[in-house]
Chains A and B, each alone.
Chain A
Amino acid sequence: MNTSQERFTALVQAWTADLYRFAYWLTRDRQRAEDLVQETFLRAWRSLAQLRDDQAAKSWLFTILRNEYHRRPATPGDAGKFPAEEPTDNSDATQDWIVRRQILALPEEYREPLLLQVLGGYDCDEIAVLLGVSRAAVMTRLFRARQKLRAALADKPAADLPAKDHHELP
């Protein structure tokens, strides 16, 4: 059986990058993202005995990070920090910059479920449990997140997309 230290080291090697990405897109601040990752792993170290199954490790770590993020309200300077690089040409890098800018511009209530789905790999039911809302509410927020991204990226007015919204935000 692996020792606790070996298990912890393996967790750090496997999940630091994914946790950092999740933290960065949540906080939109590189330093705060690093602090969150540090705090997450410290809590994970203290509670390592609770993790019985390596399949559950990613979800467990993401949950700890998310809880840690929500324990501390965002400071006024957190909003609207864009990545440093500027577009210079028509390359993929430029396209990435544009997409990143749009993701950062999403309000948190849309951005967080999108990150949980795309980065975290959670399904809508799991996201509903994490956020403490209904599945329908999660689907509405995901829909609106992608609707905004499509409209911004494709330069299409939102009216081109299906107008009728089955799901109402709670």
Chain B
Amino acid sequence: MNCLEFRHACLTEPDSRDSEFRAHADACRACQAFLEEQRLMEEQLRRALAIAPPAGLAARVMLKQSFAPRRWVPRLAVAATVLMAIAATSVTYLWNRPLSLEAEVLAHIHAEPEALAAPGPVDADKLAAVLRALGAQLDSAPGDDAMDGGGTSPGMGEVDRVGSERSRPRRELAVEVRYAGICDIRRRPGAHLVLAGERGPVTVLLMPDERVSQRAPLRTGDLEGVVLPVDGGSMAIVGSRGEPLNALEHRLRVQFRGKDV
């Protein structure tokens, strides 16, 4: 490490414990003086940043929390017959104007980073409890040769999630579920699932109270996906840019019946 590199490191990571960094400080008197100067500035910086929070802030946080409904996420110990209660108030969004469903879906995903980061896996009982609370049935459609290789997605009105359901056997969801919970989406209960995709987490929102007339793509800086009509409601599937969602879109079968909430 030369003097130039050392002084750069002083301004990027002044508390570095790197052995080369320390060795240079020991060997070069001028650089050691520079480092000492920078350390004094770091002390000034820390002192200046250490402002006092307003009096009573922690107490106000606790007060607000005491009025806040808790969104319930299934745990391992919860019996499958526990009734899911949905909070009366919705998750607050800061936009003033009403948003389209597509925009709300994207906003909801961005507002819940902990769902995307959940390591999973969620076991079958937990997933079943979430779905049952919404009156939803979610499973995998049998493989369809026409759709293999990422074929074209169906157009308007062609999504078939009912009708032949009785003649097709139900199949386990053939993808890892990392997160499952009930959320408020546009002030209505929905299921928020996160599946393991090829490029990263894939969010699936099941919305029994939302009706969309046709499949609609959605896209933001780092996410893309689709909102589409399903039997009894709608479903959003959103993944990272470039995630192959077509196969998943055709594989997931959703049906909403009577809800428990």
Residues of A within 8 A of B (CB): 4, 8-9, 12-13, 16-17, 20-21, 24-25, 30, 34, 37-39, 41-43, 45-47, 49-50, 60, 63-64, 67, 71-72, 83, 92, 95-96, 99-100, 103, 115, 118-119, 123-124, 132, 139, 142-143, 146-147, 149-150, 153-154, 161-162, 164, 166
**Measured between alpha carbons, how far is A118 from B48 in the docked complex, in Å?**
11
Instruction: Flag if A142 contacts B12 (CB, 8 Å).
Output: yes
| Residues in B186-238 with C-beta less than 8 Å from chain A | 222
Cβ of A47 to closest chain B Cβ, rounded Å: 4
- Partner pick for B44 among A83, A142, A153, CB 8 A cutoff: A153
Chain B residues near A100: list those with CB within 8 A: 48, 51
Choose the segment among B52-60, B155-163, B166-174 that binds chain A (4+ C-beta atoms closer than 8 Å).
Answer: B52-60
B30 within 8 A of A: no
13 new A-B contacts at CB < 8 Å, known A4-B70, A30-B54, A153-B41: A12-B65, A20-B53, A34-B54, A34-B60, A43-B114, A50-B117, A92-B47, A95-B44, A139-B12, A139-B13, A143-B11, A146-B11, A150-B11
**Measured between alpha carbons, how far is A49 from B72 in the docked complex, in Å?**
9
**Measured between alpha carbons, how far is A30 from B54 in the docked complex, in Å?**
9
Closest 5 CB pairs of A and B: A99-B48, A20-B53, A146-B11, A47-B114, A50-B114
Instruction: Flag if B75 contacts A49 (CB, 8 Å).
Output: yes
- Partner pick for B58 among A16, A60, A64, CB 8 A cutoff: A16
Cβ of A77 to closest chain B Cβ, rounded Å: 17
Chain B residues near A21: list those with CB within 8 A: 49-51, 53
Main secondary structure of the interface of B (DSSP, over half): helix
Instruction: Flag if A150 contacts B41 (CB, 8 Å).
Output: yes
Instruction: Flag if B65 contacts A45 (CB, 8 Å).
Output: yes
B71 within 8 A of A: yes
**Measured between alpha carbons, how far is A132 from B7 in the docked complex, in Å?**
26
Chain B residues near A162: list those with CB within 8 A: 4, 7-8
Question: Can you list 16 contacts pairing A with B, beta carbon distance less than 8 Å?
Answer: A12-B62, A17-B57, A21-B49, A34-B54, A43-B114, A45-B68, A49-B75, A64-B113, A67-B110, A67-B111, A71-B107, A103-B49, A119-B49, A123-B13, A146-B12, A146-B41
Please encode chain B, from 16 to 56, with 1 for each CB lying within 8 Å of some chain A CB and 0 for all others: 00000000000000000000001001101111111111100
Given A21-B49, A118-B45, A12 and B113 touching (CB < 8 A)?
A: no
Main secondary structure of the interface of A (DSSP, over half): helix
B97 within 8 A of A: no
Cβ of A83 to closest chain B Cβ, rounded Å: 8
Given A16-B57, A37-B57, A9 and B48 touching (CB < 8 A)?
A: no
**Total residues of chain B contacting the partner, CB 8 A:** 47
Instruction: Flag if A42 contacts B65 (CB, 8 Å).
Output: yes
Cβ of B61 to closest chain A Cβ, rounded Å: 5
Chain A residues near B49: list those with CB within 8 A: 21, 25, 103, 115, 118-119
**Measured between alpha carbons, how far is A60 from B51 in the docked complex, in Å?**
22
**Measured between alpha carbons, how far is A9 from B62 in the docked complex, in Å?**
7
Instruction: Flag if A63 contacts B68 (CB, 8 Å).
Output: no
B73 within 8 A of A: yes
Instruction: Flag if A96 contacts B48 (CB, 8 Å).
Output: yes
B82 within 8 A of A: no
Cβ of A75 to closest chain B Cβ, rounded Å: 12
The residue in chain B whose Cβ has the minimal distance to the Cβ of A141 is B12
Instruction: Flag if A143 contacts B8 (CB, 8 Å).
Output: yes
**Measured between alpha carbons, how far is A94 from B220 in the docked complex, in Å?**
46
**Measured between alpha carbons, how far is A46 from B111 in the docked complex, in Å?**
12
Cβ of B33 to closest chain A Cβ, rounded Å: 13
Chain B residues near A71: list those with CB within 8 A: 94, 107, 110-111
Cβ of A95 to closest chain B Cβ, rounded Å: 7
Cβ of B89 to closest chain A Cβ, rounded Å: 11
Cβ of A7 to closest chain B Cβ, rounded Å: 12
